[in-house]
């Protein structure tokens, strides 16, 4: 074993790792995310929507594989430390301190603490698999909860591309906007409903999101359900 680490040190790490290992086992018990990940078709996605779905299940699969391999590796080191390296000690220390390994963050940034990160991965992976199994045939999903999405930017890009194709315009000519469900506007575009979300450091007041201060301390930081709409460049419409 390299470094000044005694058997008692490793036993201490083992005790601190066990709750994390047990959490991962509990959250993934009976999961079929990896099986779904391995059945992703090789052909190119037919729509922006299916491209988004496949990108999410791929992300879920990569995270499942990476998290599992990391935890299995650390568990094995606490049982057999003959090949222990300095980077292993650092990794073990970080995970024991509830810190997310950089290797995981390179795939998805996620939450600050490891336990919340793992919970976020599993909950989003379950939804990614559900979309993969049940929504591939749709032109676009009617509803979305951003808490269930790994890459929101990818979702919005897919939505924008879908609508640009529907009206025969460039994505540069349409802009995203949001509308509260109480103020719904009629539209021929694909305008999915988005579930309520919370924004740290901000509150919802008088129909608007404002930064938190003493005058807003009693206000909720939960934004009600809303709908994503689009503004189309007027100059483009006039030229048509």
Residue range 55-92, pLDDT digits in tens = 999 999 999 999 999 999 998 888 877 777 889 889 99
Instruction: Give the range among 16-20, 189-193, 199-203 with minimum mean pLDDT.
Output: 199-203
Q: What is the pLDDT of residue 125?
A: 98
pLDDT at 43: 84
Q: How high is the pLDDT of residue 81?
A: 72
Neighbours of 212 (CB within 10 A): 14
Sign of the CA dihedral 170, 171, 173, 179?
positive
b/e map 13-26, b = 16+ CB within 10 Å: bbeebeebbebbee
The mean pLDDT of the chain is 80
HSE value, Cβ hemisphere, 13 Å, CA-based, for 4? 0
d(CA 81, CA 169): 61
How many Cα neighbours within 13 Å face the side chain of 174?
A: 22
Q: Would you state the pLDDT for residue 204?
A: 41
Contacting residues for 28 by C-beta, under 8 A, at least 6 apart: 64, 68, 122
- Please report the pLDDT score of residue 184 as a whole number: 47
**What pTM value is reported for the model?**
0.80
- What pLDDT, on the 0 to 100 scale, is given for residue 224? 55
Q: Which residue has the higher pLDDT, 144 or 186?
A: 144
The domains of the chain are located at: 1-138
Q: What is the mean pLDDT of the segment spanning 47-55?
A: 96
- Asked whether the predicted pLDDT for residue 36 surpasses 90, the reply is yes
Element (H, E) at 179: strand 174-180
| Among 57-66, 71-80, 163-172, 180-189, the range of highest mean pLDDT | 57-66
Q: Which residue has the higher pLDDT, 45 or 33?
A: 33
Q: pLDDT of 109-158, one tens digit each?
A: 999 999 999 999 999 999 999 999 999 999 998 888 888 999 999 999 99
Stretch 205-220: mean pLDDT:
46
């Amino acid at each position: 074993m390299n470094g000044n680490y005694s058997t008692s040190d490793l036993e201490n790490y083992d005790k601190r790792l066990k709750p994390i290992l047990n959490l991962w086992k509990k959250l993934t018990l009976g999961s079929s995310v990896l099986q779904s990940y391995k059945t992703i078709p090789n052909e190119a996605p037919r729509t922006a929507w299916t491209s988004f779905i496949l990108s999410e299940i791929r992300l879920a699969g990569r995270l499942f594989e990476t998290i599992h391999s990391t935890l299995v590796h650390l568990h094995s080191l606490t049982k057999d430390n003959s090949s222990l390296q300095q980077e292993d000690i650092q990794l073990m220390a970080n995970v024991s301190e509830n810190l997310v390994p950089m290797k995981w963050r390179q795939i998805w940034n996620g939450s600050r603490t490891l336990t919340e990160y793992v919970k976020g991965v599993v909950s989003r992976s379950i939804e990614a698999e559900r979309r993969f199994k049940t929504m591939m045939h749709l032109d676009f999903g009617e509803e979305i909860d951003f808490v269930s999405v790994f890459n929101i930017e990818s979702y919005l890009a897919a939505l924008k591309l879908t609508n640009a194709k529907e009206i025969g315009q460039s994505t540069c000519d349409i802009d995203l906007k949001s509308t509260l469900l109480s103020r719904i506007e009629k539209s021929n575009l694909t305008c999915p409903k988005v579930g309520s979300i919370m924004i740290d450091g901000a509150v919802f007041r008088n129909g608007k999101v404002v930064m938190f201060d003493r005058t807003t301390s009693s206000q909720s930081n939960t934004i009600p359900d809303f709908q994503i709409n689009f503004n189309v460049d007027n100059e483009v419409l006039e030229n048509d």
